[in-house]
Each structure stands twice: as structure tokens, then as C-alpha cells.
Amino acid sequence: MGRWLILLAVVGCAQSTKAGPDEQHDLSLQDAMDSVDLGGVLGGGQDSGTLTFGDGGTCAPRINELQTSVAGDSHWEFVEIYNPCAADFPLAGWTLVYRSATNLAPRDGNDSGTLYSFTQTIAQNGFITLAGSTFTGPNDGMMMGLGLADDGAVGLRDPAARLADSVAYGAVSAGHAFIEGMAATKPPRTNSPGNSIARKPDGYDTNDNATDFATATPTPGGHN
């Protein structure tokens, strides 16, 4: 009950906001809700302070595992997406984007490239695996572009191009907008099938890449 009182208080404050001495702009309930950190009020997801989604919630898919290559062989490059939410999640309009290790553009613009444009729905507690052009393992789609560098960053953007999740790995420049906390270790270049970096358990998210991702045996499309 106390949480709803907080929300109603914020709505009341928003409706009394004045744009100027002679003009008052009343916000709708939806406008006010959009301005509230619903994660803090309703107990939402890890990124609740960053953005909310159309249903008023904050749960969103996560970048769950990635691998850049193995020693002398790029066939194992992939990015895996996981849905930790309590329902299936429609990803139509979402994109997976890439930034180079030295791309210091602001958070919401000038990515180095778009790796994939989603049309699928990801099942509750399900996976989508996106593969490099020569990947020979199980996958749900092929990434565009020249592939993932040994040091770099990938991000998930919603249909409004807001960054919902990101991981920077390896030697990325200080101030890189895709770093959450500190950069994760980069996937080691070892012999086939190589090593990935992965969240354990699936979807584990403290908003610190270095804490959330650890070197792992690749499990594209399966539990880490």
C-alpha cells in the first residue's frame, strides 16, 4: 500500500507542474508513471533506474553469453540472449548493436554497427542464439557485419533505441558508454570449441560486467 501512495504522490506533484508563470501543463497518469522509477516503487528489474517499458515494467531480455572466436578459427562466434521475465517477450523492433573498444559515443547514439534486427518472440526462460557468418553450431539467426573483435562491446536496444542491456569486454577505453560497472574479461582465444563469457546463473545481473560474466565452456542456446 505504501508503494502505491508514493506513486500517487508523484502523480499529484507532476500534475501541478507549471511550464511558466501564466501557463499550467497537466500531465496524464501515463506521463507521470513514465517519469517514475517504477523499479524502485514496484520492485522491478535490475535496470529499473535506466528505463521502463510499455507495460510499465522493467524486466527485459539480457545478453547472456558471447564468444568472439577460438585460436585460428572464427567459426564459434556467437551472442546468446536470455529472457528472465515471467512471460514470453516480443522482441520485434529490438536490435543487437556493436561498438568498438574505442567508440566513446554517447550511450544512445552512433553505434559502430547493428548486428541483428529482431522479429522473434523469446520464450519465458528461453534463449535466442545469434551466430557469426561461419558459425556451425545451433542458432536462431545470423549476425550482420564483420563480426566481433576480441575487445569490444555489444548492446540490446528497444524499439525506441534505448539501451536495455550491454556488456563491454576486454581492453575497452575508459568512459565507454556500454560498460556496466567494470568491463568483463574477454573470451580467451583457446582451441576449438574455445571459451565464452557467460552469466551464471542465466540472467544474473548486478549491473557490473566484471561481476556478471565469467569465462565458461560455450553453451549456445542452452543453460550456462
CA-wise closest residue to 168 among 179, 177, 182: 179
What tens digit of pLDDT does each residue of 32-61 get? 333 333 232 222 333 334 455 544 456 899
- pLDDT at site 21: 36
Contacts of 53 (CB under 8 A, 6+ apart): 59, 60, 158
pTM of the shown model: 0.75
Question: How far is it, in rounded angstroms, from Cα 72 to Cα 151?
Answer: 16
Cβ–Cβ under 8 Å, residues 73 and 192: yes
DSSP character at residue 70? B
- Which pLDDT does position 159 carry in this prediction? 93
Cα separation, 155 vs 105, whole angstroms: 13
User: How far is residue 118's CA from residue 141's CA, in Å, rounded to a whole number?
Assistant: 9
The domains found in the chain, sorted by start residue, are 2-17+25-42 (no CATH), 62-216 (2.60.40)
Q: Is there a contact between 192 and 217 (Cβ–Cβ < 8 Å)?
A: no
**Per the structure block, which three cell numbers stand in for 179?**
560498460
pLDDT tens by residue, 137-186: 889 999 987 678 999 999 999 999 999 999 999 999 999 999 999 999 99
